[in-house]
Amino acid sequence: MFPERLRALRRGQKITLRELCDVLNANLGPDERPNTPSQIGNWERGIRTPNYIEVRKLAEFFDVSLDYLTGRAERDDHDLAKLFFSSKDLSFNHTTLISEDRYEIFQLIDGYLKGRQNRSETETFYGTQEELNLKF
């Protein structure tokens, strides 16, 4: 499962083996050896297996969990509430969200979800709206 997920993540980001290699080698620790493109290709083909440090670097770079990358989880779920209050930079349509934006968006989503819970099951959101007349 790991080789397929690694290959899919790399190709999904449209980066070459060399580019991924450069990212992984950017901050080498004192006892770490640099990676090579052929080494990463061997990981993708399942010929070799990376060590824990390399897998952790890959998960951080692709912003996925170790469980997802190694096949222990089918999906890589993110809790938006945790993202809004994390220290990670968030952007929307290439605009960085400042802390006030993040809080207001969190409040909007939270309000929507609470309102959705309060609506009866037979009443749909769109059923209570006026129909838009596009005939001029």
Residue 52 lies in a domain: yes
> CATH number of the domain that 12 lies in?
1.10.260.40
**89 and 38, same structural domain?**
no
End-to-end Cα separation, the chain, in angstroms: 57
pLDDT of 24 > 60? The answer is yes
**24 and 52, same structural domain?**
yes
What predicted TM-score, i.e. pTM, was given to this entire model?
0.56
**39 and 6, same structural domain?**
yes
Distance CA 59, CA 45 (A): 18
User: What is the amino acid identity at position 92?
Assistant: F
> How many CA within 13 A on the CB side of residue 56?
4
Q: Could you tell me the residue range of the domain that residue 57 belongs to?
A: 2-70
Residue 128 lies in a domain: no
91 in Cβ contact with 98 (< 8 Å): no
pLDDT digits (tens, 9 = 90+) for 50-63: 999 899 999 989 88
Q: And the tokens for 6?
A: 């690694």
**17 and 60, same structural domain?**
yes
Q: How many domains does the chain have?
A: 2
Q: Quick one: pLDDT at residue 113?
A: 84
**106 and 60, same structural domain?**
no
